[in-house]
């Protein structure tokens, strides 16, 4: 079992829909939880990160972390064609003076006009 | 806006040949990372530098891969000899010290390698 599991999709939604993207993980030591957006042939860019459990909102994006269920989500409201990209979850844990960032496989999202 | 520069963007090579990728991080970013992303997968860390020192190269196949950051600024990743399984996107990222754990990495556009 991989440490971070993410459904690769693809996921196709109409413009204006609410999108829900999810990851599960097995390592209860993970402390920080991130979501990245990666456009085709580009590097990932950080959308947001959260520490421990809870919600965080940034514009149309909301990240949720449920550590008891080892489950994280990213919600996109009023989705736009420009949101079409691959969304990667990632998690980190520190220890012995260093840290490890572990990525999911990514979910490919298409928002249809 | 400052960006991480990588070159070349695309590289096609035959197996057993040598290949090198170059990365120039954002000015002032002491931490530099090389990731490999196979198509359909998430990025996997190959090596992490803090200034000119390697802090993590546990996933770097050291029999064929090498990385250096001699003056603590730009960095080179080399593969010799290249194998078919090395076909992937090689991503360089940089961050301010201490911000890597929160995922505040800035990625370059990547170097896509195809090994024939």
* Residue B91 to residue A43, Cβ atoms within 8 A: yes
Q: Provide DSSP, A65-111.
A: EETTTTEEEEEESS--GGG-EEEEEEEEEEETTEEEEEE---EEEEE
Q: Answer whether residue A1 shows pLDDT above 70.
A: no
Question: What tokens appear for A33 in the block?
Answer: 């939880």
Q: Answer whether residue A96 shows pLDDT above 70.
A: no
A64 touches chain B (CB under 8 A): no
Q: Do B62 and B77 meet the contact criterion of CB atoms below 8 Å apart?
A: no
Beta-carbon contacts of residue A96 (< 8 Å; ≥ 6 apart): none
- Is the bond leading into B65 cis (omega within 30 degrees of zero)? no
Helices (H) and strands (E) counted in chain A, each on its own, are 0, 11
A71 pairs with which residues across the strands? A24, A66
Rounded to whole angstroms, the Cα distance separating A71 from A26 reads: 9
pLDDT-based confidence at residue A97 (cuts at 50, 70, 90): low
Mean pLDDT of chain A: 93
* Mean local confidence (pLDDT), B67-95: 96
Per-residue b or e along A32-44, where b marks 16 or more CB atoms closer than 10 Å to that residue's CB: bbbbbbbeeebbb
B91 pairs with which residues across the strands? B35
* Residue A16 to chain B, least CA–CA distance (Å): 27
Dump pLDDT digits (tens) for B36-68. 999 999 999 999 999 999 999 999 999 999 999
A4 touches chain B (CB under 8 A): yes
A6 touches chain B (CB under 8 A): yes
DSSP letter at A60 equals: T
Nearest-CA residue of chain A relative to B50?
A98
Q: Answer whether residue A12 shows pLDDT above 80.
A: yes
């Amino acid at each position: 079992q991989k440490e971070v599991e993410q459904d690769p999709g693809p996921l196709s939604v109409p413009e204006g829909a609410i999108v829900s993207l999810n990851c599960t993980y097995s390592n209860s030591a993970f402390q920080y939880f991130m979501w990245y957006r990666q456009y085709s042939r580009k590097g990932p860019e950080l959308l947001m990160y959260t520490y421990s459990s809870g919600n965080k909102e940034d514009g149309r994006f909301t990240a949720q972390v449920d550590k008891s269920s080892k489950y994280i989500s990213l919600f996109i409201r009023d989705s736009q064609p420009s949101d079409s990209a691959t969304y990667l979850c990632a998690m980190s844990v520190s220890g012995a003076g260093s840290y490890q960032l572990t990525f999911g496989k990514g979910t490919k999202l298409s928002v249809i006009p | 806006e400052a960006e991480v520069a990588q070159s070349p963007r695309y590289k096609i090579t035959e197996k057993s040949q040598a290949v090198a990728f170059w990365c120039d991080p954002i000015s002032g970013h002491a931490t530099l990372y090389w990731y490999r992303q196979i198509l359909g997968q998430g990025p996997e860390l190959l090596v992490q530098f803090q200034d000119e020192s390697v802090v993590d190269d546990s996933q770097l196949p050291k029999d064929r891969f090498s990385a250096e950051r001699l003056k603590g600024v730009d960095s080179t990743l080399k593969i010799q000899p290249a194998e078919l399984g090395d076909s992937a996107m090689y991503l360089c990222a940089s961050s301010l010290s201490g911000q890597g754990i929160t995922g505040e990495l800035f990625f370059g556009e990547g170097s896509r390698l195809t090994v024939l």
